[in-house]
Structure 1
């Protein structure tokens, strides 16, 4: 990375979750900070000061050089934290063997082209195959997502609808029967979205915002008193 950037820099932070680097030249403001997202686990540049007041300015000046550096810098940071795509592809055969070994009845196939380069990976777990045959409608819904990695490609998915219900209603009664006396949780985000739909046309956006805020306070309440107080505020609104 140093030879590619044509100037010396030093790491301020460099671990499995974030990388921060600054130019080694005294007083030069150039810096970059990249970190891993909590949801996607992808590496992204959060902040960057591309300005050099040292000799590195000659290399990084101009929109073409800066854009190229930013892209290569991002790829280098991703490889440093997540490993190389090349190494990941080489591990796919052993991944398929491991899936077949630890999930009997599952399917995991890996094929290559004539030049031995990657061609196709297909995975179907036994639980999903069995569930489709025993409890889903005889329909498959296909979708494709383009992969934006170094080698690109396409992710194809096949899903099916529950035979009794498209949503969670089909699970409520069986869960209560099989797991008697157990606690049943609901997704807070789903409850909040449904509540907003139920309040449509009944109150202003500000009231909706306050109600959702109190809903979150109730969910994270550390004791019964705070929970009851949040519920009472929701009722008053």
Structure 2
């Protein structure tokens, strides 16, 4: 999901170099979560925040704007793919059930009819 204030976008177009740094960190507090950011360098070689997001934004947007379009980033899809393959390659029923339990915690909409 991309969120950006109009003034930040116009300022970036007017004065920033065409280099964008993407970073993320895990928040280690009672609230947990992840903080994602995109930064650039301005004309004075100073870091300039272009956009930032917190993991709970998907739910907030679904509540505030129920018809908005949402897409998953490649990292989240990769995590789901890896978890799915762990279940697919399980050689015993207990290993399969454990892998499916992990997959369900990552995405509650996983079809678990055969798990």
Tell me the TM-score normalized by structure 2: 0.34
State the structure with more CA Rg: 1
The structure showing larger relative contact order (alpha-carbon pairs under 8 Å, at least 6 residues apart) is: 2
Tell me the TM-score normalized by structure 1: 0.18
